Amino acid sequence: MSKQQRRYFGTDGIRGRVGDGAITPDFVLKLGWAVGRVLAKEQNSRVLIGKDTRISGYMFESALQAGLSAAGVDVYLLGPMPTPGIAYLTRTFHAQAGIVISASHNPYHDNGIKFFSGEGTKLSDDIELEIEAMLDEPLTTVESIDLGKAVRIEDARGRYVEFCKSSVPLKMNFSGMKLVVDCANGATYHVAPDVFKELGAEIVVMGAEPDGFNINQNCGSTEPRLLQAAVLEHQADLGIALDGDGDRLIMVDHTGQIVDGDDLLFIIARSLKLRGKGSSEIVGTLMSNLGLEQALAAHDMTLHRSKVGDRYVIEKLKETGGTVGGESSGHIICLDKTTTGDGIIAALQVLCEIRRTGSTLHDLKSLVTKYPQTLINVRVKKMIDITMDQTISDAVKMAEDQLADQGRVLLRPSGTEPVIRVMVEGRDATLTQQLATDIANVIKTSIENS
């Protein structure tokens, strides 16, 4: 079965609006059973389940638990936990798999299911396809004596807090630093504040009162405006914005400026390079700014570009022997610390570099000179193959001719929502804005006429 034949899995598991398509209780129950049959084939198999703070998480947790139990798999329930925390605990519990109930940075009415292997890594394409094939089989229930049991892990939060703190050198602390921490009303609400506070920082907490509906609502890494204002209001050293499931990080410097994933990737990569650690092979994505590539080159580091999606960044890191990779959106992977993107771990590495060098976050950010980049999300009711539309191809070619060798154009369908992303990058901000708008309008017209 080829990747093109996938029916359910996108770039980051299965995601959509609650009640639609695959995001229904009956499908998720069958999915739990299929995962149990594929991933947990040995006796006494166990699978961990964690979730973010969406109201629908309770429903899908129960459905997964029922499906896994029917397949004869024991279930360890973690409750609300950041995605990277679930990856970590899957390894430490020697489980066969970890399941995350989350739609990451999406609004509350969406949800999704994503998976980690027993090694705390994203599942391979082959395993995902095997799960899809199992979904076509009739659901059968093991004998009653073999049904899986469910256990709630009461100390999951504390275990992960200690793991995050262990990524900081023993003699390092952040006393004297004032931080504003935005938890996006998501899965880090009861983790991130304790991590930074226990490492000595003075913290102001935002977005830590989830009610099932306010996850990512005017807060977090996708909506940092209130964080920017709070950093200035509290005269903080910096701000930390996580997303709903805790695998993304955006920061704000003391002047209120955004420090995005490209900036953070450079800061962490440069720190490792100057200390003689890690690798000179750094991984970004097709969306990574040309300015990042040039800044890394100035420090004798090479930027390799993967497809968009943290799973592809990790694949490219393993291929190149790299240690650090990331996305502009804030997925930062530090393979010397953990197995997947982790917003808290990445923030701690940046704080360590600030402490080591005595620099401000603003100083470190200024080492990267970005090319102006315009990103427009064209929301669509149905996806089309943009590579086969001659009108769109002509619009892209015209834009590339105008940019010459001083920029680039990238079109890509989102793997998590019905959106086509238009990105134009170049030295002239006005030109990039105009070209991106022109291409977006062509796409809208083509879709309406198709």
Q: Are 202 and 169 in contact (CB under 8 A)?
A: no
* Radius of gyration over every alpha carbon of the chain, rounded to an integer in angstroms: 22
Instruction: Quote the Cα angle for 205-210-213, to 5°.
Output: 135
Residues facing 77 on adjacent strands: 49, 152
Give the separation between CA 157 and CA 190, rounded to whole angstroms: 8
Catalytic residue, from 56, 69, 104, 329: name it.
104
Amino acid in the structure at residue 276: G
The 8-class DSSP code of residue 138 comes to P
Concerning whether 2 is annotated as a catalytic residue, the answer is no
Question: At 412, which helix (H) or strand (E)?
Answer: strand 407-413
Question: At 57, which helix (H) or strand (E)?
Answer: helix 57-70
Give the separation between CA 368 and CA 428, rounded to whole angstroms: 17
Residue 404 burial (10 A CB sphere; 0-12, 13-18, 19+): exposed
Helix (H, G, I), strand (E, B) or coil at 130: helix
Both structure tokens of 348: 């701690």
Residues tagged active-site: 104
